[in-house]
Chain A
Amino acid sequence: MAKSALLKSSIVKKYWMALTGLFLCLFLAGHLAGNLQLIFGTSLQFNEYALFMTTNPAVKLLSYLTYISIIFHAIDGIMLTIQNKKARPVGYAKTDGSSSSFASRNMAVLGTIILVFIATHMVNFWAKMHFDKNMPLMVKEIEVQGNKQKFYVGTQVGQFFPVEQVAKEGEKPDPVTMLPKQFVIKNKTELHYSQADVKAADLYKDLHKLTVDFFKDPKFGLAFTIFYVFSMGALGFHLWHGFQSAFQSLGVNSSKITPVIKFVGKAFAVIVPLLFAIIPIFLHLKK
């Protein structure tokens, strides 16, 4: 096969679209499993999971594959759409859409909505988790001898550090006692002894709190929730056509297997976006 055919041939474009699309379906399933911990897990479980996802090297590799797939899927889709528009320079005065599904005719529009959603989603969560200096650290309230006290949570089991013992970086010693606090936070998540400059523990970033606060935001929480649910609707329609379409593009079509693929595809297109959408609604309404 000529090198240029990798991108140029109409059929090879279909293969790329299908392969990246199916990979992204796997990603969706994995992402959903993680998100569901916001409903069914504790905040510690969720933050443990978030730490694992941001530090594990295998996950890192998968995440790069995902970014590449999203970018390639989008660029290939845009190229296809432009070419397909050019293939009919003069349109029809009257059209009848009854011979194809709404989803199949609007994959580019649905894909654009999803792409915008992904961009906002990464700004709101991914970028904050990775780069935000003010990303909150996990604080747990525990009752000690009848009094409620706040503790930072270390990543090793059983590590709790009283919040009032922890200084922010550059914080001056107490003006009365002239004694510095016992701990100081460095490099966003590292807890150091303030005197010896030795690391005492790694702390959890509180992605759980960030997420809950995001959807419970008194001003914008409702708007964020509605946009999220709307985007999941677009995703559902996109998958409704896309899932089974990917198999057709890869040449998998027979009277035996195709009904199964179509059924699984439609089930996936309904269940996955629905479960995704339930989470922000649940968080928004939660007391």
Chain B
Amino acid sequence: MSAAKNINITLKIWRQKNAKAKGSMETYKLDNVSTASSFLEMLDQLNEQLINEKKEPVAFDHDCREGICGMCSLYINGRAHGPDSGITTCQLHMRMFNDGDTIYIEPWRSKAFPVVKDLVVDRSAFDRIQQAGGFVSVNTSGNTIDANSIPVPKDDADKAFMAAACIGCGACVATCKNGSAMLFVGAKVSQYALLPQGKVEATQRVLNMVRQMDEEGFGNCTNTGACEIECPKGISLENIARMNREYLKASLK
């Protein structure tokens, strides 16, 4: 990796005052951005500049900045979480860009993810899908069985774990040309369907979660596979296929 240097960039950022306001793309010049800084640090730098100019800073979602919380988003230069694979925006670094680059930054675009302000979108639709069935009902009154006392085949455990890696960031919805949430729901359905603890409620789970997904206004999956490519956690299309199987099984019961 070459040593860090400073670059000057042009930013085109979606600005929208609130959920009801009509937004637009605004252009900003930002100089002396270190290529060692993260993308979000670059936005911090922009916001400092805006505050110094007595302008409204750009609102964007972020939390852990360690690539695990699923809070950061951003559609950067036409790609969810920007031009690198297997990472969230907070793990994206400015060394991916060159001096003089113009960078487009837009919020996730989906009817089910309305813009709250600037680059912040409301992803509570995902929470409602989870609440519809993305859990295992366990009696927690003190006699809970240790999870490891139930044997699970290694292959199933690995697949469930890979599905459970989903952080619910919404990149799959953002990148899908149909705004479909099936990779997210597929991962959540799979992580339980593969495990003995989850099988008990499998029928209702898949029916309820899919119904909620449809009610939220997400689009329909057409198997383009873009979600799988852009997912920061590498969730595979196999999970959508598993959800399709689970749904068929549940529908025939």
List residues of A whose CB falls within 8 A of some B CB. 1, 5, 8-15, 80, 83-84, 86-96, 98-101, 104-105, 107, 241, 244-245, 248-255
The yes or no answer to B104 lying at the interface (CB within 8 A) is yes
Q: Is the Cβ of B214 less than 8 Å from the Cβ of A8?
A: yes
Q: Is the CB of A11 within 8 A of B223?
A: no
- With A94-B77, A101-B224 known to touch, is A248 a contact of B240 (CB < 8 Å)? yes
Rounded to whole angstroms, the CA-CA distance of A95 and B225 in the bound complex is: 16
Cα–Cα, bound, A8→B180 (Å): 15
Smallest CB separation, A35 vs chain B (Å): 29
The residue in B177, B225, B246 that gathers the most chain A C-beta atoms within 10 A of its C-beta is B177
Contacts of B77 in A (CB 8 A): 94, 96
Nearest CB on A from B111, distance (A): 5
Taking CB atoms, residues of chain A closer than 8 Å to B224 are 100-101, 104-105, 241
Asked if A11 meets B243 with Cβ closer than 8 Å, knowing A86-B111, A100-B229, A105-B177, the reply is: yes
List the A side residues contacting B25 at CB < 8 Å: 93
Q: Is B163 an interface residue when CB atoms closer than 8 A count as contact?
A: no
User: Complex formed: what's the CA distance from A5 to B251 in Å?
Assistant: 9
What are 22 A-B pairs with beta-carbon distances under 8 A? A1-B252, A8-B214, A9-B210, A10-B218, A10-B220, A12-B247, A15-B248, A87-B110, A88-B177, A92-B109, A95-B78, A100-B177, A100-B224, A100-B226, A104-B223, A104-B225, A248-B223, A248-B244, A249-B221, A250-B244, A250-B248, A253-B240
- A92 engages B106 (CB within 8 Å): yes
Contact B109 A94, beta carbon cutoff 8 Å: no
Looking at the assembled complex, report how far the CB atom of A225 sits from the nearest CB atom of chain B, in whole angstroms.
Answer: 32
Does B72 have its Cβ within 8 Å of any Cβ on chain A? Answer: no
Name the residue on A nearest B248 (C-beta). A251
> Interface size bucket, B side?
35 or more
Contact assessment for A88 and B110 in the assembled complex, using a CB-CB cutoff below 8 Å: yes
- Number of cross-chain contacts by CB at 8 Å: 132
B78 touches A87 (CB 8 A): no
Q: Chain A contacts of B79 at CB under 8 A?
A: 96, 98-99
Decide if B222 is an interface residue (CB 8 Å cutoff).
Answer: yes
Q: Verify B210–A10 contact, CB threshold 8 A.
A: yes
- The residues of B that contact A245 with a CB separation of less than 8 Å are 222-223
Query: 10 closest pairs, A vs B, by CB?
Result: A87-B219, A96-B78, A251-B245, A253-B241, A87-B179, A84-B178, A99-B229, A100-B224, A104-B224, A251-B244
Task: Flag whether B230 is at the interface (Cβ < 8 A).
Answer: yes
Q: Does B160 contact A (CB under 8 A)?
A: no
| Chain B hits for A11, CB < 8 A | 210, 243-244, 247-248
* CB atoms of A93 and B104 under 8 A apart: yes
Residues A252 and B178 in contact, CB atoms below 8 Å apart: no
Q: Is the CB of A84 within 8 A of B219?
A: yes
- Inside 8 A of A84's CB, which chain B residues have their CB? 177-180, 219-220, 222
B75 at the interface (CB under 8 A from A): yes
Q: With contacts A248-B241, A250-B244 known, is A80 near B104, CB below 8 A?
A: no
Please determine whether A249 and B244 come into contact, CB atoms closer than 8 angstroms. Answer: yes
Which residues does chain B contribute within 8 Å of A5, judged by CB atoms?
251
Are A12 and B223 CB-contacts (below 8 A) given A86-B111, A95-B78, A250-B244? Answer: no
Which residue, of B106, B178, B222, B224, has the highest number of chain A Cβ atoms within 10 A? B222
